[in-house]
Each structure stands twice: as structure tokens, then as C-alpha cells.
Structure 1
């Protein structure tokens, strides 16, 4: 026992640091009394019996023996006492903070966050799907210059089969099908007609008096700018999502919501009066980048101030205002037919949200994580006052916050070790590639990514489907919003009873069935009483609309379901990466959808439903290799996922009705 030193084993050293064990670095030489070692062990065993989370540190009182004059002899241990562990165990930290939220309950403080963010979510559809009303396809006619030899080209594609007395505005031997993008001039040398591209158009203003389409002449060779107008917002969402999590974790949830909503409001109002298309597209991109910061960070903020038993309910009801706003958007567009005034009108309500920001505060949980405990304590006291409850003493709250901070610090330590840009990039690549590391992970990643892509493409594509069906967009979008409302609530008992996989497969296959059936509906042309011309039958047209709306309802279900299903399939250790990969696929689907519709609507509008139906069928079929997650314990590690029986051996979870 002559100065043996501390044990150098790594596990023991780590244990001493975590449990903050105080030791006597230099044990007294030739101590006359080492018998208390047995008592020391008894104390340790007793403490471990009552608290297995961490062996408490010891307070050793070492004093000099009476009558001893030596500086090295005569010391003995005169007392041995214990002290409590310094902090709650890591596994209980989140539960401890949730206990604070449970104590706060759901009152005025919680409802302030919930209702405020629900109001903001009701403003986002006006910009996310703005292309439906602000940049729609419009009937147009070429305005030829005075020297044109013929004003229009209306020769039908089957001119060789028409009666001999049919008259044309262009020579019958010219294979021209469209009169909206070109006109004819006479060649000075040969005298033959020559097709020239049109540069000026007359637009049908019966539905809208002014649109982005008509103001910037987005037809013919520029028609793809209409799809770009819509996709720039979605592309901005994809880019914004890449940075939103980092910014929200480092600068705070409330800070990100406050800055992004204020900036969103300024850009939304300013974009209504931009003079050029280029600047308008830039503004659309900027709005898209702010979208995740307001939507996803706002969602996290609400969840972090909500008690456990109310999280599932609050998480679902938050987005009901999105569907309601989709219906109201049709009303706004009906009242304001000029796109600049419509953009201004739907952006002005954003100003009403700004005062609500100052009533809300930062997430107490985030403040605890980053070490701002006094500020978190102040916010919790304000919450208790608003909700009329009494919280535990300050020292208990601060102890819990200290525990939360320690947990976050230990998790962040590994990230801080990767400092260089190259190392961080390599780590990001490794985190993505881990999704393809094992057979089951590869299946989950590929299938869920396909499902995210297809469900988002269908959801946003069918919302903007009025031009495909040649129906009034005001009525179409209103119906589209109404069919979304009951979906998220009606589906709950079905997924609770039948399971996630069966409901998801059914939703994809049902969408495929109705969308593939829609092109088979007859055009429904009926004769007019006053002339021999044929007019579309309204009854048959609305059969097509009904089929598409059923597809929209089912795609809304699949969009909701794939998020839940994927979260339950991926192991805990890589769940964020897995769901993140799915969300990237989702954004790509929303970017692609407008271009599919813009390309096919020109000559093959019936093909839009076929493409959407075929992809929905494919998404339903590829789900076959996956297993049911209902009633299964969520896997925590990749090893557990690969080694366990994913269908039969896992412990049951509470039903959704109980969550």
C-alpha cells in the first residue's frame, strides 16, 4: 500500500470523471490504521443497493494521530461518510424535463405557442402553391405583326381527312397544328409562306385579369417558366432544410422562427411588386428557404413546450390550418383577379403574426441544453404563472437543467472532435452511406425514399391539376383543400387496427386505381342546341374531377403514413439520417411534379393521370419486402434490426389511441 497510485484503466478513469469521485491522490505513508477499508466497502455496497445509477463519492476525513510529530506517520481515517450522486442518470434526464412539462400541463402558455404557429401555417399555402392562381396556363392567341401574310395557323392534324369545303387560314399543305406560337410571312425570294415565332400574344382574361403568365408572356417557348415559378419555391425548401437544423440547434428555436417569419413577410410583400421575372424567381427561392425555418422549427418549438400526453394530438392538429387555408386561397383568388394585388393581400396577414412572436419565448428545453439555465428558469416561471400551476423549487429545476446540459454536452463532444471541413464532409458521406450498410437497411432506405418521392409528387401535383382537367381552378383548389381535412383524423383508427404497412399499401394502390381510371372517362362531348358544335359534358367532367380528388385524398394519407412508418422502421441510432433522406426525396418529388404537368399538358393532358397512377402503383408494389411495425418494439441499433425477428418477436407498443 505504499503509494500504489490511481488505477490507470480507462473504464475506471471514465467512471471517476462521470461520477465526480473525489480521491486522496497521495495516501498517507505507513498509515497505522487501514482497517476502515472493510467499512468503506460496506458503505459502497449499501449505496449501490439504493442507487445503482452511480456509486456515490466518499468524503474521507484524514487527521493526524494525537502525539505524532511526523509529517508522514500517524495519519488515520477518523470518519467515512457518503454524499448523493451529482446529477440524475443520463437515461432519466429527458423524463425529468418532461416531468416539468407535465407539471405545467396544457394551459394558456402552451396554447399561445400552438395557436400562434397554427395561424402561421395557415399563411404558408398562399405561397407554397401560388403557381396555381398566379402562374396558371392561360388560353392565348398569337398577335402577328402587320406584315404577316396570315394571322393564325389553325390547320388541324388530321386535315387530310376533312371535307373538301373546309376553309383554313393557312395553306392545307402546311403541317401546322398550333396557331398560338407562330404566324406566317411570305418569303421575298420564293413567295412561299414561312413560319415565324410569335412574340406577342392576346390572353384570355375571363378568369384572371392579370397573372405572371400574361404579364411576362410565359407561353410557347417560355411556358417552362411557369413550372419554374412553382419549383423555385420547392427548390428553396430543399436548400433551406439542409441548414435549418444546424441554425435552430445553435441559435435557438424562437430566434429562428422570429428571424425567418419576419424575413418571409418582407420578401412576400416585396415580391408582389418586383418588375422583372428574374427577381421574382429569386424571391420565390428565398421564400422557399425560409419555409423550413418557419414550419419545421415552429413545429419543434411547439413540441418542446407540450406535455407528453398531448404531443400526438398537438402534432396532428397543427397542420389542419394548411388545408383550411387551401380552401380560403380560392376565395382570395376569386375576389382579387390581379396577381400583384392577390400576392399583397395574402401576404399582409403575415404582419399580424409578428406581435405574437414577442409574446412567445424561447424553448426552455433548448435553453437548458445550451446552458442558459437562468433564462430557462425565468421562462418556466412565466409558463407556470400563465398556466396557474406551482413548479418545484428552483434548485430542483436547475439540477434537471444541469443534467440535460450534461447529456447534450456528452453527445456533442464526438461532433466537436471532427473539426476540419474535409473531416465533416467525410463524416456526412459516411452517415449517408450507413443507410446502405446492411441488407435490411438498404431495403428500408430505398423503399421509403421511393414512397416519399411519389407521395409528395402526387400531393402537390394533384393540387395543381385544374389545367389538366380543363376545369375552373378556383373551384378545383377549394375542393382539393376540403378533401385533405378529414384525412389525417379518419386514418388513425385504421392504422391502429390494420397496421401501418397495409394502410400505406392500400392508399398507394387506391390512388393508382382511380388515377389510371380517370383517362378512361369519355370526353363527354354533347351537341349544342344552337349549332353543330360540341360542348363538354359537365357531368362527365366532374366524374374525372371526383376520381382525381379521391386520388388526392389517398395521396394525403400516404404522405402522412410514410413519415410515421419510416420513423418506426429505422433504428434509433440512424433514425434522423433515414427520415432525412426520405425528406430530401420528398422535396425532389415536389420539384419534379410541375415540370411533368407542364410538359404533358400541352398535347397529352390525359397522360398526367397515367404517370401519377403508374408511379403510385409502383410505390405500393415496392412496399412488399417491408414488414409491419405496428405492435413492434422500435429497434435501437442496426445490429438489433438485422438480428431480430422484425415481425414476431418484438414487444408490443401502446396503440395510437392511447398515445
Structure 2
């Protein structure tokens, strides 16, 4: 009698051609779904803008008398920003009192010298935008600048609220009704809401649809991740998890190219969304997760999938193969598993608190740096592309080191390195811009590596019966960090180094606390809540419980390294 991990090792292969094909089919739609997480960088881009001055437009003054610089001096006051004098983006001179003086017979000097005696007012006539880089954007369409600029940040936060709700809702549904059905439901809804989002003409409708897009887009990635973890053997889980994490890096790089080619926000939104529609056709190619079927007691269906996997991998199953499932369908509470099982017992409560805190902090670090690429010197598209490139070594290196050194210590190191780099960057003098950028990119490298590890680690710490809801609730806490991250950049108005300090300092603390969590390298995945409660609990200084084939068997102990 063998459990599913043993079947994979001995008879199917831990990562055969069919598992690779399966992972490809569910991982591919995760890329456009991840692009929604960052799309506000371009569809909500804020170009250079100044107050509109309809009084001068009516006089056609720019064409007849003055150059652009003269018009700016006549209508827009100067202000000191970060030690540099520049024209204000949110105020203008009040020309109403002097409108009668702008007669066509006035000379250029007479026309433009009158500005020194004018009062200053807000942009009561709207704004003029520089459309040389971004032809249209949500910011320009809804005037999300000046005293309304926080609404731009709010739109990104609303998306993360949707991710938060969707992760819990669809995570629980996928544990109850299956990975496959839930995966294709959220994939279809993401296409519907994403397309609708492109045709909104009011800010309220836009943010409502952003909520729905977030609620459906991120669960596609989340469920794909869980499927990948459940269909490969223990020694290949880290690889499977790292490959799908590359979807974030790929999404950033592809989005940079799309945004460079498509400068209209409506068409860019469609270009991000529509590729997912093609993936819906793979319904007939993807079976249900056999591990989920076993956990639900649907043994015959699980055996059909197992036979299919063996056949596609060129393997032959023994005729007397019998799955050990008699304890897999038991529940610690005797009822339907739920999010309460994550904190119902002392050991699970302690592990969940530490997991949730690490998710919260690493998300603030990751999104705070990802959404702040416009602050880097140079081209916006190149900078954003490079922010995706730097993630690749973070994901790949973390994939390698966790197979050799486990999950705990590497996660701690990535978090601490990323946190220290951000704090150090906060105090670098402004004239050392290359050094600041280098430290920020090191911070992004650390965030990417830590994100990769915490995803894999979380999936291994929670049992099959609540694994998806465990990852979902973890994502809930991470999205609390995602909701806050767009507003952290605004704190630079209080104190310049404050945003980077807020990003970096908690990362160091979270990394240190992660050392309390148990190691999972090479261990079987816990299936039941009973196994998860005992998993990682030490009875003696050098011993740790690991899940066995039967929870009623003697407790197995291994020496910790």
C-alpha cells in the first residue's frame, strides 16, 4: 500500500513529460493574469502636466506672440521641488483680473511681464498633458493629478483588495469543488471583467471593475501554483514552484514591451486580457489534481488520472497498486475543512502567524519596489523591463539554494539582504544615483527570492485538505501589504528616506522570525490536519515529527540537520 508521493517516485516519475505539459498549460495563463498586477504603471501613468489656461487659448497668444517658454512664464508659477526650481503642476496665475489687458495690440514684453502682479489659483480649468510618451492613460482621462492623485494609488489598492477577497473565496472553492473547475471559472471571469474594464468611462466604474479583475486574475496564478505542487514529487516541488514564480518576471518584461508598442490605455488593457481567452480551450486537456481527489476520498477518479499520467510518461503501473487513503479523508474536526483549521490548534496557530507576517512584509517590499520604477533615472519602459530582469536571478538562485540548504535559512537571507539594501539606499546622497539604483535592485532581487521561497514553503507546511485555502489566506495577508504599498511612496513628502525604511526594516525582522518555522526539504506533504499539527513539532532536541503513510502508525522521527 503506497501514498501518492510514493507512486510518483516509484511508478510515474516525479517530473515526467506529462507533468511538464500539465504545468505548461496551467502556468501559461498566469502570465497575462500577473500583468494585471502591474498594469497601472502604464495604463495609469502620470505624464508631465500643467494647468490649462483657456484665457490665452482664446487669444491664440501662443501662435501670434509668444513661445511655449514665454507662455509658461506668463501663466504658471515657479516652485522649488527637491532643491530644483520648476514650473508648478498644480497651480497657475489667476488671469481673470488681467484678461482685459491681453489685447491683441499688446507687445510680447507687455503681455508676459504682467504675471508678477497676479495671484495664484488652482487648476480650475483642468490640465494640459504632455502626450508625447503616453497618448492616453487613466490619469489623463479622469484627471487623477494634484489633489486627486491619491485616486490613482487608490485604484491599485482596490485591485489588491480584489486579490485579497478572490484569494480567500476561490482558494476555499478550489479546496471544496476541485482545482480544475475553479481554475477555469476564474480564468473566464478574468477575461470578462478585464475586457469590460477597457471600456469604462467613469472613475467609479473603473475601480469597481479593477476590484473584480483582481479578484479573478490572481487566483489563476494561485491555483496554478497549487496544481504544480500537487502533481510533482517531493524533490521537484521547489523547481515547479520557482518556474511559475517566473511568471511575475515574464509578466513585467512582456508588459514593458506591450506598453512601449501600445500607447493607448484602452488597447493596452485589451492586449493584457485577451490572451487568457485562448487558454480556456485547454479545459479538455487538463485533468483534476489526483492529490485533491485522494484527499476527498474519490479514489477511482484519482486512479484514472494516475493511470493517465503513467501512460503519458511511458510508465507501467503494477497491477496490484493500492493507494493508502484510509486516513487521507479524515478531518480533524469531523467536518468540512475551512480557514479556521489554519489556527485551530496551537502549533498550527504559531506557524500560521509567522507565515502570514512574512507574506505581509515580503509583499510590501516587492510591490513597493516594483511600482516605484518610475522614480529611477532613464527611460520608463527600460527601467520597468529591467525590474523584471533582476527578478530572474532571484527566482533561479532561490530555487537552487533551497534544494541544498532548505527553506528556512535561505528565506531569512533573502529577506535580510533585501531589507538591508533598501534601508541603506534610503541614506545614500542624491548625487550618488547609480549607487541608490543598485541597492534598490538588490532589494528587488531579495524580494523576488523570498517571494519564491515563501510560496513553496507555505504550500508544503499546510496539509492537502486545506492547502489551497492556506495559500489563499496567506495571500490575503500579503494583499494587505499590497493595498498599503501604493501609498507608501507618498510618505516621501513627510521625510525623503521614510518609504525605503518602511520597506526594508520589517523585512529584516520577518526574515529572522522565519527561522522558527519547521524545515520541509525532502519531506512528504502533510495530508490531514492531524499530520500538519504534528509536523515540525520537536519531542526531543534533535528529533522532529514527519508525516508517514498512516497517521495511526507509530510517530516517525528523523534527526534534524
Bin of the TM-score, shorter chain as denominator length: 0.7 to 0.9
Q: CA deviation at 1:236?
A: 1.2
* Residue correspondences, number: 511
Q: Secondary structure at the match of 1:124?
A: helix
**CA distance 1:243–1:576, shift in 2 (3 Å):** closer
> Does the 8 Å CA contact 2:91/2:120 hold for their aligned counterparts?
no
Tell me the SS of whatever aligns to 1:202: strand
Q: Which residue of 1 aligns with 2:94?
A: 184
Is the Cα–Cα contact under 8 Å of residues 39 and 255 in structure 2 kept in the other structure? no
Select 1:587's aligned residue among 463, 479, 498: 479
From 315, 327, 335, the equivalent of 1:415 is 335
1:242, distance to aligned residue in structure 2 (A) = 1.3
1:619 and 2:510 correspond: yes
Q: Distance in 2 between matches of 1:498 and 1:178?
A: 54
Query: Are residue 121 (structure 1) and residue 11 (structure 2) matched?
Result: no
Choose from 372, 379, 391 the match for 1:472. Answer: 379
Once the two structures are TM-superposed, the CA of residue 492 in structure 1 deviates from its matched residue by: 4.7
- Aligned to 1:204, which of 116, 123, 130? 130
What aligned pairs does 1:136-215 form with structure 2 within 5 A after superposition?
136-146=45-55, 151-156=75-80, 178-181=88-91, 184=94, 193=119, 195-196=121-122, 198-215=124-141
CA positional deviation for 1:141: 0.5
* Residue 387 of structure 1: aligned partner: 313
Equivalent in the alignment of 1:239: 165
Match of 1:548 in 2: 440
Rounded to whole Å, the distance in 2 between the matches of 1:107 and 1:158 is: 57
- What is the SS of the residue equivalent to 2:317? coil
Q: 1:137 to 1:568 in 2, by over 3 A?
A: same
Moved more, 134-143 or 406-415: 406-415
Cα pair distance change 1:285/1:96, threshold 3 Å: same
Unaligned stretches of 5+ in structure 2? Answer: 58-72, 99-116, 545-556
2:241 is matched with 315
More deviation, 142-151/487-496: 142-151
Q: Could you tell me which of 477, 485, 488 is aligned with 2:395? A: 488
Instruction: Tell me the distance in 2 between the aligned counterparts of 1:369 and 1:336.
Output: 46
Equivalent residue number for residue 204 of structure 2:
278
Structure 1 residues 10-29: aligned runs within 5 Å: none
Cα distance in structure 1, aligned partners of 2:259 and 2:206: 19
Q: Shift of residue 577 of structure 1? A: 8.4
Shift in Å, 1:447: 4.5
Structure 1: which 5+ residue stretches go unaligned?
Answer: 1-87, 169-176, 417-423, 525-539
Quickly say closer, same or farther: Cα 1:601–1:516, change in 2 above 3 A. same
Please give the alpha-carbon distance, in whole angstroms, between the structure 1 residues aligned to 2:415 and 2:76: 45
What SS does the corresponding residue of 1:146 show, helix, strand or coil? helix
Counterparts of 1:121 and 1:230 in 2: how far apart (Å)?
A: 19
> Do residues 268 (structure 1) and 194 (structure 2) align?
yes
Q: TM-score, normalised to structure 1's length?
A: 0.66
CA distance in 2, matches of 1:105, 1:151: 69
Higher RCO (Cα < 8 Å, 6 or more apart): 2
- 8 Å CA contact 2:190, 2:216 repeated in 1: yes
Q: Secondary structure at the match of 1:337?
A: coil
- 1-side partners of 2:186 and 2:521: how far apart? 39
**2:449 is aligned with 1:557:** yes
Alignment partner of 1:226 out of 137, 152, 159: 152
Stretch of structure 1 that moved more, 605-614 or 198-207: 605-614
When residues 179 and 553 of structure 1 are mapped into structure 2, their CA distance, relative to the original with a 3 A threshold, is closer
> Is the counterpart of residue 352 in structure 1 residue 261 in structure 2?
no
Q: Deviations over 1:469-525 (max 9, x none)?
A: 35432111111111111223323554566665543443333223322332444433x
Supply the RMSD in Å over aligned alpha carbons. 4.2
- 1:461 and 1:95 map into 2 onto residues whose CA distance is 38
TM-score, normalised to structure 2's length?
0.77
Could you say which residue in structure 2 is the equivalent of 1:63?
none
- 1:43 counterpart residue number: none
CA gap of 1:105–1:515, structure 2 versus 1, over 3 A, is closer
Q: Are the equivalent residues in 2 in contact too, given 1:509–1:620 (CA < 8 A)?
A: yes
1:117 shift after superposition: 1.9
Return the structure number with greater helix share: 2
Change (3 A) 1:382 1:94: closer
CA deviation map 1:75-125 (0-9, x unaligned)? xxxxxxxxxxxxx6xxx544565468x336654432321111221122222
CA deviations on 1:436-483 (whole Å, 9 max, x unpaired) are x58x965x5555433322211111111111233354321111111111
Q: Structure 1 residue 264: deviation in Å?
A: 1.4
Question: Do the aligned partners of 2:157 and 2:482 also contact (CA within 8 Å) in 1?
Answer: yes
Q: Equivalent residues in 2 for 1:501-516 (5 A)?
A: 501-516=408-423
